[in-house]
Structure 1
């Protein structure tokens, strides 16, 4: 069975497959090779992709985008709180987890970010199945290199909810490196830096590509909260302030107006990639006022200058962690749609003092690489990829809390995965029988500044003075970058197998429920498709009859023509005023039309 590669993006997603010795990026039913990562809920339907994004200006409260910025995070996360200011939809705190609230079919519905992401993944699965003409189950899904353990687990859960068997979670820059290296007969070892600036996340990875198709990640750094969405928000803030100054009215409380302004701002940003000036023109934006605004590329660069410069910090961090200088880098490869911004490219040209590689499509490279990895994992034996070996790394250090809240690192960041490391710890009190072990990820000295992954207890430790018992703690990171931990009391051999239970991660019961909900939506989607087909059938028949009557010449008298044309118009008017009718109603109307309209 074929395996696909999916780039689950913050703003756009993409799917690709390995076939006939090459990668094919798959276009959706609109003919586009990328699909907006949007999900919308209307009074009658659930929409995913283009249709969801297109209706966002009139239904902003129930149109979800940017769910990737919520996935695997806590509600009180500073980044989440900052993002909430820019989203028109409602996000609530449910036991520390962010949940999305929408109105659907007259009811309030609550979704986890994983469920929204699973809907986008399901859409990409549908796109692949329509193209391949067969069912697809196996997939490789990409994530930002700087995604932490919780975010990787959540992405894997989203895949399961979408009905996919996730073969592997791989890092986006690593996937892009695979795409870069596939058709190049590279001689000797080359160091490449992947600069991946997408719609909502930013990553830098340095890889060494050796002969024999060995891709080894040397270091990774980034910011999972920096991307094109942030540049759009700066433009929205600029135009909103311009509107306030010119018309004395604040539009920031008008959610519909802001959504329309966001759409226009994104369009202007794209326009500035090739032009030095762009304009936004929005009819009746707020209080009936038509708004016309202009922005120059120079002003846009100034508005976002701090964000652009912020991307160089992870570049320098990645070089430092890889123990390299910029002179050691053979090629700088640009990935992600936001790398098209001229100022971003000029900053990198100035920093590296070398030509940038833009030969791979920045929107498709990640899905392209994921498809290569999917082919390898599914047993594809083509000569181009049969010897391919991918060596990825742990993005953040992993460890436990010791005395006085210190972070004791068991696995250092940028350690190659899969990996396994054992360190010994001991008791802090005399005759201690139970040890609470807290697991953290991060680079700070104190655990309070790092991210808590989970807590477990090792019981029945033989009583002894503090410092005497030796407990071996083993951290095991699999090829997906996902962590499991075991602990063993050396004196008794008592071993505990630990599954990290993060309070902010979905448990198995929740995942099972969400899979069941997804099946229900699948049936709704099928019914919606049947309904549209019935409407289209009725519409086609009515318009064909109308044209036949017009072309009938003397076969029909004037009275017959007038009656039939009126019947056709009545049917058209009924369709226009009953767009949300059930399939059975369209079918009944078609039967009536067949009986009444016979040319």
Structure 2
């Protein structure tokens, strides 16, 4: 039985199929194995992929890029507002909902991020089905580890609207490990693997513990200030300076010319991953003048030296956070298109001199490959025996904390369920409250990783009423259970009176 794996990234999407016991990435109708996550709206049609990206020069206000940044977010979200500020396609708010304002012909319409994502995912489904020659819809979709439940729900719904039967959402680091069959090599005992992902708009580094085929995320660090586009922009600025030197014309403030130059810089950057030099030619860049420039890999690395250092620093920070050294890792897996940069690979290898670096599968395809392998496993009939397969388990995606008071009366937050905990999971905790009170409120919190301060946000409040006042403290037994689907069950019982409250929060996905 065939199945599909989809990696829907911020800048690009990739689809792989599982058939006859193996996974393969599928090229789209343009012959590319990776498709830009770009949608262009025209008067009578919508265009997805490379044609939409190239046509952005003339149709920027009706071309949507990085739609994943808005999926599942509201108008009050800082990340949504950052995307809104940089988007050439206008983003408007109605209440807390966000829409792209599209002007196609004489009509202006509002399009939801979900509808844009649906078009990209439809393109992935059509690409896979064209290769399979049949109407297969079973799929596994990957998500970043830091995705909230609302974002996962929005992505799942967009995939279902695109015609997929979503078997499971799995985290990108787990998919990367599955692509290399990591876990089978260590049937007993623990090992550690680092997953390094440098995508178009962000960098994420994840440390995982592998134990008998089970993956546990120890910690992950994401930096949205550096990505593949940062390298492209650095090269584009250099090319603009070269154009100014040659033609005495400054195009740095000409949005259309810079967009054309950025497209050329992007092609040159990709070429420099496999060649020692690349040519950037832009037809009629400014005032009818063509631009032709050769750039060497050494020059590119020099231009991006600060970005390369910035791309390495999160690894060092993560190792300090998890309390591990480079010697504690057995493998490093590279993901994301910009992880192809040879100098970056060398710098990572220098940090892990005796560790196997896995990049034989193209980094921009590896996550989709892992998703397809998981899809084949879940589809069940055509894949390997589950007993012989390394399976990624669902884990808690964010810390769940309880607010308490210490002996001095100050508020403290204690972690009940750490992020990365394999599900299902159960935690029992005893809370204490002043005996004079007739009611007590148990408050659970979760972190918002997008806020630098005041980042504990209320997740759940449970009030125990009609308690009998007494001299000693009330002891409240709190039992927290999270199932594999992400649903949360919380029960609170007063030890002395037996008063109890039970709350169940269904999984958003």
Residues 18-67 of structure 1 deviation map (CA, whole Å, 9 limit, x = unaligned): 21122232232333322221111011111122332232222111111212
Q: Does the 8 A contact of 2:183 with 2:214 survive in 1?
A: no
1:266-281 map, 5 Å: 266-281=266-281
Residues 270-315 of structure 1 deviation map (CA, whole Å, 9 limit, x = unaligned): 1222344445333333455544556543443344334333333442
Aligned partners of 1:67 and 1:323: how far apart in 2? 36
Residues 145-164 of structure 1 deviation map (CA, whole Å, 9 limit, x = unaligned): 33344433332232233233
Aligned partners of 1:86 and 1:236: how far apart in 2? 18
Aligned partners of 2:182 and 2:393: how far apart in 1? 16
1:133-282 map, 5 Å: 133-181=133-181, 191-209=192-210, 214-223=213-222, 225=224, 226-240=226-240, 247=248, 249=250, 251-252=252-253, 254-282=254-282
Any idea what SS the aligned residue of 2:388 has?
A: coil
Match of 1:461? 465
Any idea what SS the aligned residue of 1:361 has?
A: coil
Any idea what SS the aligned residue of 2:130 has?
A: helix
Match of 1:24? 24
Match of 2:4? 4
Measure how far apart 1:391 and its partner are.
3.5
Measure how far apart 1:144 and its partner are.
2.0
State which of 455, 468, 471 in structure 2 corresponds to 1:450.
Answer: 455
Measure how far apart 1:7 and its partner are.
1.1
Match of 2:112? 112
State which of 394, 412, 418 in structure 1 corresponds to 2:418.
Answer: 412
Residues 441-493 of structure 1 deviation map (CA, whole Å, 9 limit, x = unaligned): 2689x9953263x64443562256696373736252535xx453535454433
Aligned partners of 1:13 and 1:62: how far apart in 2? 20
Aligned partners of 1:116 and 1:140: how far apart in 2? 19
Match of 2:332? 332
Point out the more displaced range, 7-16 or 387-396: 387-396
Residues 412-453 of structure 1 deviation map (CA, whole Å, 9 limit, x = unaligned): 233223423344546689656584846322689x9953263x
Any idea what SS the aligned residue of 1:472 has?
A: strand
Aligned partners of 1:209 and 1:183: how far apart in 2? 6
Change beyond 3 A, Cα 1:423–1:182: closer
1:314-393 map, 5 Å: 314-320=314-320, 323-354=323-354, 356-380=357-381, 382-383=383-384, 385-388=386-389, 389-391=391-393, 393=395
Measure how far apart 1:202 and its partner are.
2.7
Q: Does the 8 A contact of 2:199 with 2:336 survive in 1?
A: yes
Aligned partners of 1:430 and 1:164: how far apart in 2? 56
Any idea what SS the aligned residue of 1:158 has?
A: helix
Change beyond 3 A, Cα 1:402–1:304: farther
Aligned partners of 1:436 and 1:169: how far apart in 2? 31
Any idea what SS the aligned residue of 2:168 has?
A: strand
TM-score normalised according to structure 2 size: 0.83
Match of 1:538? none
Q: Which runs of 5+ in 1 are unaligned?
A: 502-507, 509-599
Q: Does the 8 A contact of 1:88 with 1:255 survive in 2?
A: no
Q: Does the 8 A contact of 1:425 with 1:473 survive in 2?
A: no
Match of 1:583? none
Measure how far apart 1:175 and its partner are.
1.0
TM-score normalised according to structure 1 size: 0.72
Match of 1:35? 35
Change beyond 3 A, Cα 1:248–1:353: same
Q: Does the 8 A contact of 1:67 with 1:116 survive in 2?
A: yes
Structure with the bigger percentage of strand = 2
Measure how far apart 1:177 and its partner are.
1.1
Residues 504-549 of structure 1 deviation map (CA, whole Å, 9 limit, x = unaligned): xxxx9xxxxxxxxxxxxxxxxxxxxxxxxxxxxxxxxxxxxxxxxx
Any idea what SS the aligned residue of 1:151 has?
A: helix
Q: Which has the larger radius of gyration?
A: 1
Aligned partners of 1:266 and 1:432: how far apart in 2? 65
Matched, 1:476 2:482: yes
